[in-house]
Structure 1
Amino acid sequence: MKEANRTKGLLLVITGAIFWGVGGTVAQKLFQQYAINVNWLVTTRLLIAGFLLLTVQFLLKDRSQIIDVWKKKSSAVQLIIFGLLGMLAVQYTYMASIRHGNAAVATLLQYLAPVLIILYMILRKQTVLSRQDIITVLLSLCGCFFLLTNGSLSELSVPAPAIIWGVLSAVALAFYTLYAVPLLPQYDSLVIVGWAMIIGGFALSFIHPPWHMDFTRLPIGAYANLGFVIIFGTMLAFFFYIESLQSLSPKETSLLSSLEPLAAVMTTVFWLHEPFGFMQWIGTACIIGMILLMALTKKTPSVE
């Protein structure tokens, strides 16, 4: 029975990580092929996925938590801040980076968040600089250099806006990870993330309401891709990841989640036929190596 649960956990985290990675590539296709507006996609994705996560909580877990989280003023304020500066910031900057560049680069840049967390904790004197930290930072810097320049000092191989949004995405993910720590022990993850998505989507609705879209111009293929991003690339990816923690250690789950950037790179290059130079592959290997190093040697905060 224990082995069966472990096998189930492995399948869930692997599937969830692949869904996240492929979801970014499908979003890229929506931007490039169907000219979907970034603001509209983020708004729609957050509202629908957040509603679905709370529905899962209502049907399968402690439904009282959905309301209880709003009864305490401290947790309510934290949740609003988390929804706006955490969830919305992460989702918007990540999608904007994809829009200006591609899913592979956006995902790899976002995975620099653990390095930012290390540096933050060192500056706050919450941890000491270790040899592993130095190796991790060096791998991330080398990875970024090769990924963004393809080894050339004279030019960038990735558009500057994609890099800026990608780095901001890493900063937002670092904040998201650190700020979520006090909330998660009090309430189920589905409650926190579901409400955070709805808060973020509601706020962005004032800039781009989800109903402001000419739905008649979109072919069936666009709706299929949109459905994949919302259902598989957001809602199921997160749900599978959380469920895997029931039978796997956080270390194992963190390690296997490194399949996300790998899936994003592979689908971007081989499905969308984005050009990727040899040195960019070296940079990709450095960043994935950094993720594996952190997952294998210490417990890493895991957030999607």
Structure 2
Amino acid sequence: MASTAVGTASRERASADARTGGRVARGIAFAALGGICWGFSGTCAQLMTSGFGVSASWITCVRLLSAAVIFLAVCAVREPRNLLAALRDVRSLARIAAFALFGVLLTQMSYLTAISYTNAGTGTVLERLGLVLIMLYVCLRTRRLPKVREAAGLVLAIAGTVLIATKGNLGALAIPAEGLFWGLVSAFALACYTLIPGKALEKWGSFIVTGLSMLIGGVVATAAVRPWTIEVDLSLDLALVMGAMVLVGTFAAYLFYLQGITDAGPVRAGLVGCVEPVSATAISAVWLGTPVVPVDLAGVALIIGMMFLVAQRDDRPAQGAAAYDGAVDNLPPFQGRATELGYYRARRAVRGDFGRMKEVLEDGRRAVRALGIKEGRKRYPSARRLMRAIDDGCAYVVVAQRTADGEGAASAQDAAGSERVIGVFALDPKGDPAYAHAVGARWADGAGGPDGGAVYAALHWVTVAAGARRRGVGGYILGTAERIAREEGLSSIRADVYRENAPIRALLEEYGYRHCGDIELRPGLGRVRRRAAYERTW
């Protein structure tokens, strides 16, 4: 029996590893597709400016407004309440407006203008110099010198730019000075595009932020440029190229790249996305016959080398409370309705959170009692179990920024710091031993269980503070838990709840959890506990 259990667990672990490997491979493929589509977008811009004689300003207006309509239509269908809430959030709208003007609009105008003076490959490569500006900004903000690989990337970037601009003849520019100028402006705009929208993206998600910023940028550009006054020879061919640029080079590129981040993670996806300048150069050469000489290829190779050096990260895991931060990198898909709470994020709990975590869990017990559910005399989790989960790194808190005057702090303890705890949950990547012996469960991956190596994570104690409910925090917890489990290489999350707890059951089912039956949990001591079991698989 023991050998059979070990063999089954080994097969389950191998199956989970295979699924994880397949998901990463799929993410790499999608990220590459996104980069290729962006390169295709640059070639479409080159064709319209050089072949059809259309100005970059006219293309910018039409592209931004058309893409905004598509993005916002998708948001209106998928998350209408979040879209309306974002429109009422003045702080986020101000940041999105800055992102629209200095990120989206400036990027489009400068990039397309650089292409109009040069070509798709050159314009894309020059734009990617923005990664160097981002690296320098990070060094200034953290008050440190560039690391060796960052300094090497800076040298490669300068060398590649010089080669592309001079074609190897250092005494003269081989591309128009205007093309070089707008290429460097597009690099600055790319840095703004990356650095400005961080908090808005954390709060509302990328689709809403991108759609609103494209709308704002498109409206401002249209008011300034007045594209209806620009003489353009409208034709079917021009409409087809513009439609391909919007659908393939903007919307599809964005969709593919987001899926790449979800499946492969931001680091892998970012590196694979470096295929964009290569694809722009290749598509422009094949489709439009743009000449490419060996010195161009050398310059492209140097700048791509810079991208890998600058985008590379240390593999050392973080420690303590920062070992997992839900506000960084690829965020869970649900962010919204946080206007009243400010920006919130998840992190591993530390011992200093113990008191406030007990208060939030007590809030949850009161809510359960209000539903008419009798928990019994024994409190769950006990103080000892809660502290053990903190020490084991399985307990997490959701924290929100405290306002400057302390308003909104849930307790004096919170008011003393810069953040307040508004949610608690536990996620154990080793699973729950009780599930291996539960009666009545129909798990998707079999019994699993820690005795043979769990292929799932066990989610417990999902609780939101009384003053933070109905703000999307519960959905944020589920999204964060899923991301942690995915990063651990697991294939599902399991949870159990009171059968009478209709609100949490509705939340689980809305998020994609499957009801696996009403189960009986039999702890070593104490009465039998009857719960509704749920599982989320991917």
TM-score by length of 1: 0.92
Report what 2:134 is aligned to.
117
Amino acid at match of 1:46: L
Of 249, 252, 273, the residue aligned with 2:268 is 252
Q: How many residues align?
A: 300
Within 5 Å, give how 1:219-238 maps onto structure 2.
219-238=235-254
Assess, with a 3 A threshold, how the Cα gap between structure 1 residues 270 and 245 changes in structure 2: closer, same or farther: same
Within the alignment, does 1:284 sit opposite 2:274 as a pair?
Answer: no
Report what 1:38 is aligned to.
56
2: CA distance between counterparts of 1:298 and 1:88?
Answer: 33
Within the alignment, does 1:144 sit opposite 2:161 as a pair?
Answer: yes
Within 5 Å, give how 1:14-33 maps onto structure 2.
14-33=32-51
Assess, with a 3 A threshold, how the Cα gap between structure 1 residues 202 and 180 changes in structure 2: closer, same or farther: same
Deviates more, 1:143-152 or 1:286-295: 286-295
Assess, with a 3 A threshold, how the Cα gap between structure 1 residues 301 and 27 changes in structure 2: closer, same or farther: farther
Consecutive unaligned residues in structure 1, runs of 5 or more? none
Amino acid at match of 1:11: A
Q: CA deviation at 1:71?
A: 1.7
Report what 2:80 is aligned to.
63
The C-alpha deviation readout for 1:191-225, integer Å capped at 9, x for no partner, is 1111101100000111333544667x433222111
1: CA distance between counterparts of 2:54 and 2:179?
Answer: 17
Amino acid at match of 1:219: S
Report what 2:215 is aligned to.
198
Contact kept in structure 1, 2:26 and 2:264, CA below 8 Å: no
Of 288, 294, 304, the residue aligned with 2:310 is 294
Deviates more, 1:9-18 or 1:103-112: 9-18
Deviates more, 1:189-198 or 1:267-276: 267-276
2: CA distance between counterparts of 1:102 and 1:207?
Answer: 26
The C-alpha deviation readout for 1:211-252, integer Å capped at 9, x for no partner, is 44667x433222111111111111111122112222111111
Task: Select the structure that is richer in strand.
Answer: 2
2: CA distance between counterparts of 1:220 and 1:298?
Answer: 50
Q: What SS does the aligned partner of 1:254 have?
A: helix
TM-score by length of 2: 0.53
Q: Which has the higher contact order (CA 8 A, sep 6+)?
A: 1
1: CA distance between counterparts of 2:182 and 2:241?
Answer: 23
Q: CA deviation at 1:6?
A: 3.5
2: CA distance between counterparts of 1:59 and 1:127?
Answer: 45
Within 5 Å, give how 1:43-192 maps onto structure 2.
43-60=61-78, 62-192=79-209
Larger radius of gyration: 2
Task: Select the structure that is richer in helix.
Answer: 1
Amino acid at match of 1:180: P
Q: CA deviation at 1:7?
A: 4.2
2: CA distance between counterparts of 1:294 and 1:115?
Answer: 7
Of 268, 275, 284, the residue aligned with 2:291 is 275
Assess, with a 3 A threshold, how the Cα gap between structure 1 residues 59 and 7 changes in structure 2: closer, same or farther: farther
Assess, with a 3 A threshold, how the Cα gap between structure 1 residues 130 and 112 changes in structure 2: closer, same or farther: same
RMSD between aligned residues: 2.1
The C-alpha deviation readout for 1:66-87, integer Å capped at 9, x for no partner, is 1212222211111111111211
Contact kept in structure 2, 1:93 and 1:168, CA below 8 Å: yes
2: CA distance between counterparts of 1:6 and 1:155?
Answer: 45
2: CA distance between counterparts of 1:135 and 1:2?
Answer: 33
1: CA distance between counterparts of 2:28 and 2:116?
Answer: 32
Contact kept in structure 2, 1:110 and 1:169, CA below 8 Å: yes
**Identical-residue share of aligned pairs (%):** 29
Report what 1:10 is aligned to.
28
The C-alpha deviation readout for 1:68-114, integer Å capped at 9, x for no partner, is 12222211111111111211011111011011111111100110111
Contact kept in structure 1, 2:132 and 2:310, CA below 8 Å: no
Contact kept in structure 2, 1:82 and 1:176, CA below 8 Å: yes
Deviates more, 1:136-145 or 1:75-84: 75-84
Report what 2:277 is aligned to.
261
Assess, with a 3 A threshold, how the Cα gap between structure 1 residues 144 and 58 changes in structure 2: closer, same or farther: same
1: CA distance between counterparts of 2:200 and 2:150?
Answer: 27
The C-alpha deviation readout for 1:134-179, integer Å capped at 9, x for no partner, is 1010010111111111111221111111110010000011012111
2: CA distance between counterparts of 1:287 and 1:130?
Answer: 18
Assess, with a 3 A threshold, how the Cα gap between structure 1 residues 49 and 126 changes in structure 2: closer, same or farther: farther
Amino acid at match of 1:236: A
Report what 2:258 is aligned to.
242
Q: CA deviation at 1:121?
A: 2.2
2: CA distance between counterparts of 1:205 and 1:261?
Answer: 28
2: CA distance between counterparts of 1:104 and 1:298?
Answer: 30
2: CA distance between counterparts of 1:39 and 1:129?
Answer: 37
2: CA distance between counterparts of 1:56 and 1:7?
Answer: 27
2: CA distance between counterparts of 1:135 and 1:160?
Answer: 26
1: CA distance between counterparts of 2:242 and 2:58?
Answer: 11
Amino acid at match of 1:94: Y
Amino acid at match of 1:169: S
Q: What SS does the aligned partner of 2:195 have?
A: helix
The C-alpha deviation readout for 1:246-283, integer Å capped at 9, x for no partner, is 21111110111011111011122232222333222211
